[in-house]
Structures are given as C-alpha cells and as structure tokens.
C-alpha cells in the first residue's frame, strides 16, 4: 500500500512485513494515522514510522475517526 503525501511524493505504508495481513474491514485516516482493519487485528501506520503497528488483535470494522 502506498500513501500519497503530495504531488509526485509517496510513502510505502505496507511492505509485506506482516505475514498474512489482509485488509478485510476497511481503511480509515484520522489525525493519529492510517488505520487498517484486517482479519488478524487492527493496525495503524503513523507518519514518520517505517512499518505498521498492531493496535489490537480484535477484528472488526472501523466505526469512525478517533478523537
């Protein structure tokens, strides 16, 4: 997956480093980062980091932005 950060600028947010990751419940962006709801947990990509971080092992759809 690639995050577009501007004209002709991109950042890879998923490089295949999480085995078996499949985004089944959606993707959402808020002020905390980019959230990915997968079949094996909830993950977040924060700007400036090099990889996804697992935020929860619980699966399910994203309900909305965190405030």
Host domain of residue 34: 2-56
Does 41 fall in a domain? yes
For residues 8 and 18, give the distance between their C-alpha atoms in angstroms, rounded to a whole number.
Answer: 27
- pTM, entire model: 0.72
Does 19 fall in a domain? yes
Does 6 fall in a domain? yes
- For each of the chain's 67 residues, which pLDDT tens digit applies? 555 666 777 777 777 777 777 777 778 888 888 888 888 888 998 877 777 899 999 888 787 666 5
Does 29 fall in a domain? yes
* Percent of the chain as helix, strand, coil, to the nearest 5: 0, 50, 50
Does 44 fall in a domain? yes
Mean pLDDT score across all residues of the chain: 78
Contact 35, 27 (CB under 8 A): yes
Does 66 fall in a domain? no
Q: Quote the pLDDT of residue 13.
A: 76
Q: Which residues 6+ apart lie within 8 Å of 22 measured at CB? A: 38, 39, 40
Does 64 fall in a domain? no
Does 50 fall in a domain? yes
Total domain count, the chain: 1
């Amino acid at each position: 997956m690639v995050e577009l950060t501007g004209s002709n600028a991109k950042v890879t947010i998923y490089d295949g480093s999480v085995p078996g990751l499949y985004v089944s419940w959606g993707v959402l962006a808020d002020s905390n980062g980019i959230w990915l709801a997968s079949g094996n947990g909830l993950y977040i990509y924060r700007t400036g980091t090099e990889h996804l971080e697992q935020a929860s092992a619980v699966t399910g759809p994203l309900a909305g932005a965190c405030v």
